């Protein structure tokens, strides 16, 4: 690869570095080359370069990019340690958290566990959009207090607290800062524009001893809602003596197309061309069937041309504005409307619900024990309390309550020797439970998992059916996975899956921190926010459609701009759209409803 002038400048610089540049300008690439250079010339034995990034998915791309740099010696490559901020913070907290008065033994309060722990507080408030600013502040304070209580009293630390605690540790301990810098003399900070206040506190402390290389695109800052701040780059400039290189204008990803130009024009809201090479905008009639049919036929066509290109490992991303749309599209691809063929794909779905569903299934793999049914009911209630993540629905929370009440009544009647009313939820639930407990296991975790799932799916309880459907989103049991191996071992050691629940819970924590995931290939469906830092051969951006009654729009959900209302077309939605557009290397296709097209396009 021939380095650009700016990249050469970076390569030659010493000390702290701030590298700014637009999508595809080559920031990640040069940071890897710079890391390799430092590894070769500066590192003593036992030292490494630390590369910190936000998302695991970005990490797999960075790891792939490192692997693809054939000029770097494999021995040097192994000295670049790529990790998420979360995972790095967790290592520090686990080892040194007691210095802050946290319990000696800490566990992670996973997002699913956190959703359960906070569901009562969340449920005591109205929906977020109905709250006054004071109520919002009050809600946030109560949630934070409960998180703190969980950490300090129970030793269960939620992700939200990681950066805060690590900042406190580093601000207080010279020694720890020095130790980190001795181990990692150069630290690369990917997506620096997205750091929140606590993460910035950590960075400030790290930079006191180690050399920092911050990579940033101020206009890819899409996390203002969780604390990213437009002032961050200036804060870096003020804090550190540094070299700054601005690569705006360079574009190596979609060279020869107008994809970046179009993204920049969307950002400004001013279009400089009538036609943009590499950008296609198509429309569909505003109803679910025709919208999905248009998406599917477009996907077939693009997939066909990618397959015909004979390129190994091609990728096509379908980016949508909301979690709900991710599911809707994934379901449609899996079980399409009539006459269409399914599209094999990966969907990047929030797994809160699926993880809790997997806990239910794994529990049923365990041999019966005293109070086994009670444990089962607890997990079902957990499922309904935690399945909505940080946005639980009142209906699900009410379901959890009604299950608990029905079950208490069931117990009461049984111990009094009375008949339980046949229409009690508990009756159907216990029938499905007993069917699952009757499953005969083979010792093959995948087969046994499927037989539990089928028992729940085929039983009379609709609530358990929904759990059986949800758990299909989990792919951790595929051949060669750690979960599968651990369950097999458990079976061999004990002749049964004695610890299936604990093994499954550990597998999810491990999965969260794992950097093994392969870069996505084939067709991938995901929320636009999750596409950050990634690149695909082709991209489709697909949004929702307005709902009409008597030709009046009565609802307009799942749009790129809220309600597709021009007054909501703020810089956040423009930046988000620009990030999505610029993920494509060759073509980005935008699909939007014909009678109410996306307001960012005109
Ligand atoms: N000097 C170069 N010559 C040719 N190709 C390059 C050069 N630098 C980077 N590339 C390629 O361009 C693509 C985009 O580069 P890279 O991922 O480093 O950009 P980025 O600035 O990190 O993008 P983003 O901010 O959008 O994540 C990659 O496929 C990379 O291999």
SS3 of residue 315 by DSSP = strand
Mutate which of 24, 34, 193, 219 to test ligand 1's pocket (most atoms within 8 Å of Cβ)?
Answer: 24
Range of the domain at 123: 103-158
Residues 270, 323: one domain? yes
Q: Which of 467, 495, 513 is the last residue of a domain?
A: 513
What number does the ligand 1 atom closest to the CA of 23 have?
26
Residue whose Cα lies nearest atom 9 of ligand 1: it is 26
Give pLDDT, residue 408.
Answer: 93
Give pLDDT, residue 519.
Answer: 67
Handedness of CA 55, 58, 64, 68 (dihedral sign): negative
Residues 168, 150: one domain? no
**Residue ranges in the chain modelled with pLDDT below 50:** none
Mutate which of 31, 32, 252 to test ligand 1's pocket (most atoms within 8 Å of Cβ)?
Answer: 252
Number of domains in the chain: 4
Ligand 1 centre to CA of 588 (Å) is 17
Residues 460, 364: one domain? yes
- Domain membership of residue 378 (yes or no) is yes
Q: Residues 426, 409: contact at Cβ < 8 Å?
A: yes
- Domain membership of residue 97 (yes or no) is no
Residue whose Cα lies nearest atom 15 of ligand 1: it is 26
Residue by residue, what is the 3-state secondary structure of 420-466?
CCCCCHHHHHHHHHHHHHCCCCCCCHHHHHHHHHHHHHHCCCHHHHH
Q: Which of 457, 491, 513 is the last residue of a domain?
A: 513
Cα gap 512→184, rounded to integer Å = 23
Which two three-digit tokens encode residue 593?
């409803």
What number does the ligand 1 atom closest to the CA of 31 have?
18
Structural element, H or E, at residue 245: strand 242-246
Residues 562, 424: one domain? no
Residues 366, 475: one domain? yes
Ligand 1 centre to CA of 251 (Å) is 7
Give pLDDT, residue 223.
Answer: 67
Residue whose Cα lies nearest atom 29 of ligand 1: it is 253
Give pLDDT, residue 1.
Answer: 78
Residues 361, 491: one domain? yes
Ligand 1 centre to CA of 517 (Å) is 21
Residues 226, 190: one domain? yes
Residue whose Cα lies nearest atom 24 of ligand 1: it is 23
Determine the straight-line distance between the first and last CA of the chain, rounded to whole angstroms: 38
List, in sequence order, the alpha helices (H) in 275-341.
288-308, 323-334
Which two three-digit tokens encode residue 344?
């094999």
Residues 341, 366: one domain? no
Ligand 1 centre to CA of 72 (Å) is 17
The CATH number covering residue 56 comes to 3.40.50.300
The residues lining ligand 1, judged by C-beta closer than 6 Å to any ligand atom, are 1-4, 7, 21, 23-29, 217, 252-253, 533
Q: Residues 449, 361: contact at Cβ < 8 Å?
A: yes
Residues 80, 202: one domain? yes
Give pLDDT, residue 225.
Answer: 66
Q: Which of 513, 533, 557 is the last residue of a domain?
A: 513
Q: List, as residue ranges, the binding site.
A: 21-28
Token pair 């009094």 in the structure block, residue: 416
- Domain membership of residue 433 (yes or no) is yes
Give the distance from CA 43 to its chain's centroid. Answer: 33
Ligand 1 centre to CA of 512 (Å) is 26
Cα gap 446→245, rounded to integer Å = 52
Q: Residues 257, 567: contact at Cβ < 8 Å?
A: no
What number does the ligand 1 atom closest to the CA of 58 have?
27
Residues 366, 448: one domain? yes
Residues 390, 472: one domain? yes
């Amino acid at each position: 690869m021939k380095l650009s002038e700016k990249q050469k400048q970076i390569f030659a610089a010493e000390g702290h570095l701030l590298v700014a540049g637009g999508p595809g300008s080559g920031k990640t690439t040069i940071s890897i080359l710079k890391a390799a250079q430092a590894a070769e010339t500066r590192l003593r034995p036992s030292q490494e370069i630390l590369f910190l990034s936000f998302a695991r998915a970005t990490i797999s791309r960075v790891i792939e990019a490192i692997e693809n740099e054939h000029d770097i010696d494999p021995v040097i490559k192994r000295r670049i340690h790529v990790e998420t901020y979360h995972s790095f913070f967790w290592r520090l907290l686990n080892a040194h958290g007691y210095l802050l008065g946290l319990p000696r033994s800490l566990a992670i309060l996973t997002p699913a566990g956190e959703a359960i722990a906070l569901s009562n507080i969340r449920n005591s408030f109205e929906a977020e959009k109905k709250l006054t600013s004071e109520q919002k502040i009050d809600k946030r304070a109560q949630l934070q207090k409960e998180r703190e209580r969980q950490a300090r009293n129970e030793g269960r630390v939620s992700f939200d607290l990681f950066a805060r605690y690590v900042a406190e540790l580093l601000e207080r301990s010279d020694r720890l800062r020095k130790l980190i810098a001795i181990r990692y003399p150069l630290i690369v900070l990917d997506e620096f524009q997205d750091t929140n206040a606590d993460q910035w506190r950590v960075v400030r402390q790290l930079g006191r001893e180690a050399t920092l290389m911050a990579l940033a695109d101020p206009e890819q800052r899409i996390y203002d809602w969780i604390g990213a701040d437009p002032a961050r780059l200036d804060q870096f400039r003020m804090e550190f003596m540094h070299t700054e290189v601005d690569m705006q204008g360079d574009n190596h990803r979609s060279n020869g197309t107008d994809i970046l130009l179009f993204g920049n024009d969307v950002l400004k809201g001013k279009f400089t061309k009538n036609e943009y090479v590499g950008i296609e905008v198509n429309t569909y009639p505003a109803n679910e069937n025709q919208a999905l049919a248009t998406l599917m036929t477009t996907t077939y066509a693009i997939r066909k041309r990618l397959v015909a290109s004979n390129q190994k490992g091609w990728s096509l991303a379908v980016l949508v504005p909301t979690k709900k749309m991710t599911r809707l599209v994934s379901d449609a691809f899996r079980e399409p409307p009539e006459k269409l063929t399914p599209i094999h794909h990966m969907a990047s779905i929030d797994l809160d619900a699926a993880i809790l569903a997997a806990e239910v299934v794994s529990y049923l793999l365990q041999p019966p024990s005293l109070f086994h049914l009670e444990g089962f009911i607890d997990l079902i209630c957990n499922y309904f309390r935690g399945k909505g993540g940080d946005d639980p629905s009142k209906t699900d929370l009410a379901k959890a309550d009604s299950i608990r009440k029905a079950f208490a009544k069931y117990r009461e009647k049984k111990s009094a020797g009375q008949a339980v009313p046949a229409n009690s939820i508990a009756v159907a639930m216990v029938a499905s439970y007993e069917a699952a407990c009757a499953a005969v296991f083979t010792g093959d975790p995948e087969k046994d998992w499927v037989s539990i799932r089928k028992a729940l799916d085929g039983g009379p309880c609709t609530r358990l059916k929904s759990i059986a459907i949800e758990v299909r989103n989990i792919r951790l049991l595929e051949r060669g996975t750690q979960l599968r191996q651990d369950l097999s071992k458990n079976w061999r050691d004990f002749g049964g899956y004695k610890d299936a629940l604990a093994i499954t819970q550990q597998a999810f924590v491990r999965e969260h921190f794992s950097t093994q995931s392969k870069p996505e290939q084939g067709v991938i469906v995901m929320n636009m926010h999750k596409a950050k830092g990634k690149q695909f051969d082709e991209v489709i951006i697909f949004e929702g459609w307005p709902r009409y009654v008597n030709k009046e729009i009565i609802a307009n959900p799942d749009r790129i701009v809220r309600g597709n209302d021009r007054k909501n077309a703020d810089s956040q939605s423009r930046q988000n759209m620009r990030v999505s557009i610029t993920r494509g290397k060759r073509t980005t296709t935008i699909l939007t409803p014909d009678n109410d097209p996306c307001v960012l396009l005109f």
